[in-house]
Amino acid sequence: MKSLRPGTMTGKKNCTTPDGIVIVLQNGTVWINHRLSVKSPCNLDLRQFPFDVQSCILILESYSHNAEEV
Provide the b/e sequence for 41-62 (b: ≥16 CB within 10 Å): eeeeeeeeeeeeeeeeeeeeee
Examine the pLDDT at 33 and tell me if it is beyond 60. Answer: yes
Residue 3: half-sphere exposure toward Cβ, Cα within 13 Å: 2
Q: What is the pLDDT of residue 53?
A: 93
pLDDT in tens, 13-24: 555 556 678 888
Q: What is the pLDDT of residue 54?
A: 92
